[in-house]
Structure 1
């Protein structure tokens, strides 16, 4: 039940219906849209929502449904029901096209049995009577014209007409040719007058031919004559055409008689087409507003996530702007939300969004909100928005509000949703505030659900200490004096009356005078609210900065991981090359020794030859001997260490760059890692001996770890790419000692979320994984806690 009756107009529901009507292909579908009403039957609501959602899935993900023709076959069936009546060729063509569409649609769903159960229910137990179509096809061709062979008589008549027309044409051509040769005709060719072919003759020659004059030109110089010889032939053609028309009526009457027993079935087919057009229009509108199907429960509660006002969404879409999403919950614990805040801050739009989306769901329409939203069923929706003063009823603005409050207090219950805008206004605030508080207390006592907007401080105070009622405010940027259009539940908001007045340019002396006229208690309350708003804004800005810093840290971790991978790959390559080179040296040495021994033996140990061979052997040994780097050792001993120097651990191959000297210790940066060792454990190395890749990875400042962000966004990535990116982030988080990771993967079908969690479970370092809070992303974000 809606109260008052114009609530649908107030909330924009009527405009939504008009937008849905624009998508209908038929008048029947538009009439069905006009009948959309807010329902309270849970099963019907669920059925209509599922139908719209299934059709939306077809439009987005499946082959096109073969819906080509929508005609009002109900009126045609009712016409055929009357004995002695008959349908015209065009009307039979409409029946033919509609039946073709019906059978194609049924075949479409039969190929997908079980995929769209709620749409299949539209034609469940509906028989497919193709005999009707066959009977019509025998008489009406695909262009909607009667077939020339629909009956033997019609075929003979049609043939006779063709022969007579051919003979008449031949005869008049001969006469026209003769008259032209004699110079009797006027300029031009044969023409038609009153449906008869005539010869244009000069007026002075009209008696030179026998015939019937049908017309003359405006000047009177030309007459249009039908020759006597052709006149009788044309009369014969006209008689045959009358015979043809009578035969066609006879055929159509007989066909209508055959169709009459199927009238109830035709009405059922009409119902199917109408419902399909109706559901299709709802699905197309849902796509326009990016709507989803929420979870529907048979309880008086709701929880909207990322909700948007559909009309505002469409308006912003044209201007390439985005709507700030709304997150709000109304349930047993928080029954009524009192929204306060500055003017033009979005209070009314917030409340209208809740009301309109609730009405849309209870009317079987998908809504522009997250699919994780939960929407219940209310038996009554009471609305008080705008000025309903009435001259006829002698009601002022405040009287009209009070009349509604009387209705609300008397008839509302625990299954009623109330929406009141600017609660208590319209009269002296000194009295309007207490009356509004009393009404709110009475409504709360009845356990009603709803949302009200107000500027009254007494209502904010009442909500703060009353169970079941919760304060909320629309966030406001008090630095730039601009609304943020974000609903914050838990704290009331300031009206920012003085701040907005100052920004507009009201004289300071007037502002000071106004401030002196309000009570000190009210000043304190308003100042406190302004301070709370400022703190919330600062927290919001700080959070944004932290997110930016985390993203920078993420980038540095990724670079470090790439460097580590590069060093590991090069180390393996160098070891492989060294082993191969050592193997080659040993093989060559063996060959050299064997050849030397053989040559000594073959020369019978000749001294000169033996000496030469020994010299060659010594030279080869000297060439493959590694010489100690004396210069480097001397460099390490003689020169003092200082920040920026490159050093190597004496007991290993690890190199790094000195960041800081602390007594006998040095702080070394090795890529992203830091380590502290004794001076005696390192030796200085020349910068030129350090690979360029390692030098590039040298850390130039000490704040890089602070820039690491254990957060990654993999939305839109392929599964393999996402897992690879997460693995790199995971390794760097372990190296840095971070305890949690935040993975943004989106909701979608949940496949990416499932794959990511299965992949991370294989690591022993992972303690547990949790979803983000529903108000901040829910199942679209995973928090990974490390041991």
Structure 2
């Protein structure tokens, strides 16, 4: 990617923002040098690591890495066998302490964040080395007394000897013979020896050797003869101390060298984690996410935001939808000045740079991108004073390589194309340039005010219009991109908003006149059509929501009815079963009594009579038991629908619009109205009702006669005698008189549905006589359209005669 393109797309500024989230110097240096040149595999691998870490960071947890210094030179010195100083050793100790903290963090959060698993297994805090350095080296890099017993012994001897020397030399300074020749009444150290300052005229008065003189030559620094042996011993101790310190440094350096591979792995792991953490923190703060990467040139950016643009109150930039593909591969963005056209163009550019560098991008998750091999950027302000080029000349020079080199896998960004010259010529050049770019099949985004470029999208499918929205109420841009509608410049409105004098604005309006350009009229018509379409969509959405709500309520009612039906049948089964159990007990009791009688009675006619009587009792009990078991079996058969379901199980490939099916849960025949192969889904019509049952609820009917509707319900012709007399009440009767047929049937089914839910089984429908139309319609519907098993008959005289229909629900 050319450095000039990176600069114009503000890539260095984004890297500064990213580097600000790092904690280590090495991590910061890496982020500042990040290049947008990764392969698709490397990008997706990086995203898979960043996303879990981003989610963890959003909960408030950040890896505690801290500021680890660059240890490259320290590691190099240890590998060459050099002796490390105290500061370098303390840096190694700091690294190990960070490793210890990070390891606790990775252990605690590895289950929540898969990215941390690798680091939890990679780093090791080397506690033996950390303890050795901590014991020997102070935070300031100095050797501690605890570094070794020998060092502690030497330093204690030095301290004791110094006290002895100072005591003796203080006694010397108090001597009257010496006191008269002292320059100052103090002692000092010269050439690592304790000395006293004597005036030049006191030379020879104090026994000892001269170690130094003052700059003026008037003061002699003499080592007294009496403390010379002590000074010699002190020098010997100091030499031994230095040798011991050197030994300790060498020993610690050797330990560092021995663990160098682990230390390097720790350091590299922490820097890598720091870089990943910075990328994740950037993504969390900008609401970035991973997207789908396509091999073929296309992009669908949903809610795309420029990462460096904020709103006036500090919020995130406005998100826009930008979509291009192999057919519509050049977006022409128009609209008012300062309306956001250039921001949209730069957003497309910098988001692709972020993706190619392995960063998550600020869009919605449903977005899609491709990885351009090259990004070409040319802006209409390409003035070059040093090269003696005007704005237009510099612009044309920038267009030349694009027209010669851009290809199908490149992204072309042209801002204010062909400005800087006479408008008619500029617009002609602009159109020719865009047609050339389109011929080269590159994806592109261009901003313009030229009407002829806006018109390209209306005549050439390779182009697509987009406009920056402008609020005529506030006279301010909204920064929202509207696809497929060209934009108006709103030049006068913007000039007025920016404070151009009112009389100048008025004169401009007079000069322009009241008539709009043809393009303005086209745009206004398109906006009006869009608004109308928006309103129609709103109406459709409202209707869809109401339909869904009604369907949901219907499903709930249907579920309740099915449950009530099952509950009623279970209740009946329980009643029968209880009676059977009682009869079985009674039968067993009678059998036992019979056996006892047989044993007690003698043979003869009396015994024969008793045997006959017992046999009759037994046969009576058996008949009762058999009758009840038969009734229970019939009831069970009635509800075991699968044994008698018409048709055959069906696969999705066997269905087509118009196929006849049987819906098991409805016990009704239906017609297929819609078939979806993947995922499998079917819509069927049951009368006027359309439903979407599960595929396993359907049976394919090759012949509609197979549905056997007569088995489902009885008619009044053959079951009337089973319906007993009913006393009307408010809960078991409904008055339908005076209703039209459609309304009366609607109320009838609603009344029966509620009765089923209450467990009512005997109902009265009051329809009157009239012309018999309502009566016939109700009874026909009960015969042909009822979803329930039921019988019905005309009312008895006491019930209302033929003016009512008595219904018996068989639950």
TM range (shorter): 0.5 to 0.7
Deviation at 1:470, TM superposition (A): 1.4
**Length-normalised TM-score, structure 1:** 0.58
Q: Determine the C-alpha separation between the residues in 1 that align with 2:431 and 2:329.
A: 16
What is the DSSP-based 3-state SS (H/G/I as helix, E as strand, rest coil) of the residue aligned with 2:488? coil
User: Is residue 295 from structure 1 mapped to residue 291 from structure 2 by the alignment?
Assistant: yes
Distance 1:441 1:247, change over 3 A: same
RMSD over aligned CA atoms reads 4.3
The answer for unaligned runs of 5 or more in structure 2 is 539-811
CA–CA distance in 1 between the matches of 2:227 and 2:368? Answer: 82
With 489-498 and 435-444 compared, the bigger mean Cα shift is at 435-444
Contact 1:193 1:215 in 2 (8 A): no
Contact 1:475–1:486, Cα closer than 8 Å, also in 2: yes
Structure 1: gaps (5+ residues) = 545-787
Give the conservation status (yes or no) of the 8 Å contact 1:74–1:266. Answer: no
2:163 is matched with which residue? 166
2:52 aligned partner: 54
Change (3 A) 1:369 1:183: farther
> Residue 283 of structure 1 corresponds to which residue in structure 2?
280
Instruction: Tell me the alpha carbon deviations over residues 294-333 of structure 1, each in whole angstroms, 9 at most, x when there is no partner.
Output: 32323443333433322222x84xx546643333333445
Distance 1:172 1:65 in 2: 59
Change (3 A) 1:463 1:322: same
The number of residue pairs the alignment matches comes to: 533
Hey, what does 2:22 align to over in structure 1?
A: 24
Q: Is 1:14 matched with 2:12?
A: yes
Distance verdict in 2 for CA 1:17–1:410, change over 3 Å: same
Q: Which residue of 2 aligns with 1:774?
A: none
After superposition, the Cα gap between the structure-2 partners of 1:207 and 1:181, relative to the gap in structure 1 and judged at 3 Å, is closer
Cα drift, residue 492 of structure 1: 0.7
Deviation at 1:421, TM superposition (A): 0.5
- Which of 398, 401, 406 aligns to 1:407? It is 401
CA displacement at 1:337 relative to structure 2: 1.6
Select which of 407, 419, 427 maps to 2:421.
427
CA distance in 1, matches of 2:275, 2:176: 66
User: Which aligned pairs between 1:481-560 and structure 2 lie closer than 5 A?
Assistant: 481-501=475-495, 504-505=500-501, 507=504, 511=508, 515=512, 523-526=517-520, 528-529=522-523
Query: C-alpha offsets along residues 605-661 of structure 1, whole Å, 9 cap, x if unaligned?
Result: xxxxxxxxxxxxxxxxxxxxxxxxxxxxxxxxxxxxxxxxxxxxxxxxxxxxxxxxx
Answer with 267-276 or 230-239: which moved more. 230-239
State the alpha-carbon separation in 2 of the partners of residues 172 and 88 from structure 1: 36
Match among 79, 82, 98 for residue 80 of structure 2: 82
Q: Is the 8 A contact 2:351 2:361 kept in 1?
A: yes
* Matched position secondary structure for 1:310: coil
CA distance in 2, matches of 1:514, 1:304: 42
Q: Taking structure 2 as the reference length, what is the TM-score of the superposition?
A: 0.57
**Pair 1:306-2:303 in alignment:** yes
Counterpart Cα distance in 2 of 1:69 and 1:513: 66
Among residues 64, 85, 90, which one is paired with 1:93 in the alignment? 90
Q: Choose between structure 1 and 2 for higher RCO, CA contacts under 8 A separated by at least 6 residues.
A: 1
Could you tell me how far 1:38 is from its partner in structure 2?
0.9
Partner of residue 352, structure 1: 346
Say if 1:193 and 1:285 are closer, same or farther in 2 by CA, change over 3 A: farther
Going from structure 1 to structure 2, the CA distance change for 1:232 and 1:29 (only over 3 Å counts) comes to: farther
SS in 1 for 2:336: coil
1:123-144 residue CA offsets vs partner (Å, 9 max, x unmatched):
7666775555465456446664
Instruction: Judge which range, 529-538 or 258-267, deviates more.
Output: 529-538
1:387 to 381, 384, 388: 381
* Change over 3 Å in CA distance of 1:461–1:35 after alignment to 2: same
Distance in structure 2 (CA, Å) of the matches to 1:188 and 1:538: 105
Higher Rg: 2
- Paired with 1:370 and 1:537, the residues of 2 have a C-alpha distance of 26
Once residues 529 and 51 of structure 2 are traced to their aligned partners in structure 1, the CA distance between those partners, rounded to angstroms, is 43
Distance 2:197 2:59 in 1: 66
Work out the CA distance in 2 between the residues paired with 1:473 and 1:385.
Answer: 19
- Is 1:273 the counterpart of 2:267? The answer is no
Contact 2:100–2:124, Cα closer than 8 Å, also in 1 = no
Deviations 1:34-79 (A, max 9, x none): 3211134122112323433333334342655342451222221111
2:809 aligned partner? none
Deviations 1:206-243 (A, max 9, x none): 987656586769998x9987655445534532442233
Report the Cα distance in structure 1 between the residues aligned to 2:180 and 2:59, rounded to whole angstroms. 74
Distance 2:172 2:459 in 1: 108
Q: Quick one: distance in 2 between partners of 1:207 and 1:463?
A: 110
Deviation at 1:495, TM superposition (A): 1.5
Say if 1:468 and 1:294 are closer, same or farther in 2 by CA, change over 3 A.
farther
Show the counterpart of 1:441: 435
For residues 281 and 58 of structure 1, the distance between their equivalents in structure 2, rounded to whole angstroms, comes to 13
Q: How does 1:12-411 map onto structure 2 within 5 Å? A: 12-61=10-59, 63-83=61-81, 85-121=82-118, 132-133=129-130, 136=133, 139-140=136-137, 144-148=141-145, 150-151=147-148, 153-175=150-172, 229-230=226-227, 232-287=229-284, 289-299=285-295, 300-313=297-310, 316=312, 320=314, 323-332=317-326, 334-385=328-379, 387-390=381-384, 396-411=390-405
Provide the rounded CA distance (Å) in 2 between the counterparts of 1:512 and 1:137.
81
Q: Is the 8 A contact 2:380 2:418 kept in 1?
A: no
Deviations 1:89-114 (A, max 9, x none): 21112112213323442453244445
CA pair 475-69 structure 1, distance change in 2 beyond 3 A: closer
Which residue of 1 is the match for residue 452 of structure 2?
458
Does the 8 Å contact 2:191/2:211 carry over to 1? no
Change (3 A) 1:41 1:525: same
Is the 2:485–2:527 Cα contact (8 Å) retained in structure 1? no
Structure 2 Cα separation of the partners of residues 537 and 180 of structure 1: 115
Spell out, residue by residue over 1:339-361, the C-alpha distance to the aligned partner (whole angstroms, 9 max, x if none): 10111111111221222222223
Q: Give the direction of change, closer, same or farther, for the CA distance of 1:175–1:188 in structure 2 (3 Å limit).
A: closer
Contact 1:69-1:98 at 8 Å conserved across structures: no
Contact 2:198 2:222 in 1 (8 A): yes
**Separation in 2 of the partners of 1:199 and 1:531?**
106
- What is the SS of the residue equivalent to 1:108? helix
For 2:92 and 2:224, locate their aligned partners in 1 and report how far apart those are by CA, in whole Å: 45
